[in-house]
């Protein structure tokens, strides 16, 4: 569905991952049902808010790297989440002011809040759509009106693919086949190899009762998502380890020698499409 002109009803009776994530990040755009579900996850994994912040910081560093090193000036952020502090378009447009950004999320609350944030910013749009339909999304005039697919694009799939069940290869191909050489794919994903599977199962149950179920994938499966790209250094690593010293982004500093499993709960990587 494209939500260009109509803001659909927002369901406040079922927890939504966008609003739970907002709560983890300390935001206010969430409802009692989201806070209850998120508090259940935090009770099981107290590091969740920090991991969410680290994931968000990875998004910012990956964006900055694409702008600075890859010369990318247009981004499509799939499963963008609610606007928060220092969003992708702010990171990109700070370095390269003409950068164009399209945010895509299937939760209509993202559109409602994004509109207010982006008023007057003609280089940035929010679309309500399901990323599982690449053909429909890539034909949406709200997207094609801003993004030129003959030029490199930074495609972001940050902390969203674990909300998509099944084989992701055809879905990724649906996007990557459309991207020009020199495009980038940045992704992060919940790591199945996190310790304590008992608690992980309980978290999965929490999300099963929300609008999106959660699929854990192994490091190899996550690496496979970037198999068609040249992987940027340092490869597939916990989100906080992806170029933690890059300038321009704030992030919580990891304690030296911190090897707790929670620190690798989210794996992240960035790939560059060469000769597609």
Ligand X SMILES: C[S@@+](CC[C@H](N)C(=O)[O-])C[C@H]1O[C@@H](n2cnc3c(N)ncnc32)[C@H](O)[C@@H]1O
Give contact residues for ligand X (rule: CB under 6 A). Answer: 17-18, 21, 55-56, 59, 79-81, 105-107, 110, 130-132, 158-160, 163, 212
- In 3D, which of 200, 236, 204 has the Cα closest to residue 220? 236
3-state secondary structure of 176: helix
Q: Is residue 86 within 8 Å of residue 250, measured between CB atoms? A: yes
CB 256 to ligand X: min, Å: 26
Kindly tell me which of 132 and 204 has the beta carbon lying closer to ligand X.
132
Neighbours of 133 (CB within 10 A): 15
Kindly tell me which of 16 and 181 has the beta carbon lying closer to ligand X.
16
Kindly tell me which of 200 and 275 has the beta carbon lying closer to ligand X.
200
Residue closest to ligand X, measured at CB: 81
Kindly tell me which of 136 and 234 has the beta carbon lying closer to ligand X.
136
Sign of CA dihedral 245, 251, 255, 258: negative
Neighbours of 207 (CB within 10 A): 20
Phi and psi at residue 75, to the nearest 5°: -135, 145
Kindly tell me which of 143 and 158 has the beta carbon lying closer to ligand X.
158
* Longest alpha-carbon distance in the chain: 50
CB 266 to ligand X: min, Å: 9
Strands (E), the chain: 74-78, 100-105, 124-128, 154-158, 184-190, 230-231, 237-238, 266-272
Kindly tell me which of 128 and 256 has the beta carbon lying closer to ligand X.
128
The answer for residues whose C-beta is within 8 angstroms of residue 140's C-beta and 6 or more apart is 2, 127, 129
CB 88 to ligand X: min, Å: 9
Rounded to the nearest 10 degrees, the angle between the axes of helix 17-24 and helix 108-118 is 60
Kindly tell me which of 18 and 153 has the beta carbon lying closer to ligand X.
18
Phi and psi at residue 120, to the nearest 5°: 85, -5
CB 132 to ligand X: min, Å: 5
Establish whether the linkage from the previous residue to 169 is cis, with ω within 30° of 0.
no
CB 106 to ligand X: min, Å: 4
């Amino acid at each position: 569905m494209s939500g260009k002109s109509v803001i659909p009803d927002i369901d406040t009776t079922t927890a939504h991952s966008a609003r739970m994530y907002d709560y983890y990040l300390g935001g206010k755009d969430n409802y009692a049902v989201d806070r209850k579900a998120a508090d259940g996850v935090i009770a099981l994994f107290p590091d969740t808010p920090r991991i969410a912040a680290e994931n968000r910081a990875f998004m910012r560093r990956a964006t900055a790297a694409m702008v600075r090193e890859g010369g990318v000036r247009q981004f499509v952020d799939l499963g963008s989440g609610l606007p928060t502090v220092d969003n992708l378009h702010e990171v990109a447009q700070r370095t390269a002011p003409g950068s164009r950004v399209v945010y895509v999320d299937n939760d209509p609350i993202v559109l409602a809040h994004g509109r207010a944030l982006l008023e007057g910013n003609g280089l940035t749009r929010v679309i309500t759509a399901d990323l599982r339909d690449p053909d429909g999304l890539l034909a949406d005039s709200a997207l094609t009106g801003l993004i030129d697919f003959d030029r490199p694009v930074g495609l972001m799939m940050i902390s969203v693919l674990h909300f998509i069940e099944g084989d992701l290869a055809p879905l990724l191909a649906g996007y990557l086949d459309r991207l020009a050489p020199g495009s980038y794919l940045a992704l992060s994903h919940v790591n199945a190899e996190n310790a304590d599977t008992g608690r992980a199962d309980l978290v999965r149950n929490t999300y099963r009762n929300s609008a999106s179920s959660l699929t854990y994938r192994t490091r190899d499966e996550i690496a496979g998502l970037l198999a068609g790209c040249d992987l940027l250094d340092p490869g597939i690593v916990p989100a906080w380890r992806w170029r933690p010293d890059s300038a321009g982004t704030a992030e919580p500093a990891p304690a030296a020698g911190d090897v707790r499993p929670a620190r690798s709960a989210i794996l992240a990587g960035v790939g560059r499409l060469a000769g597609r």
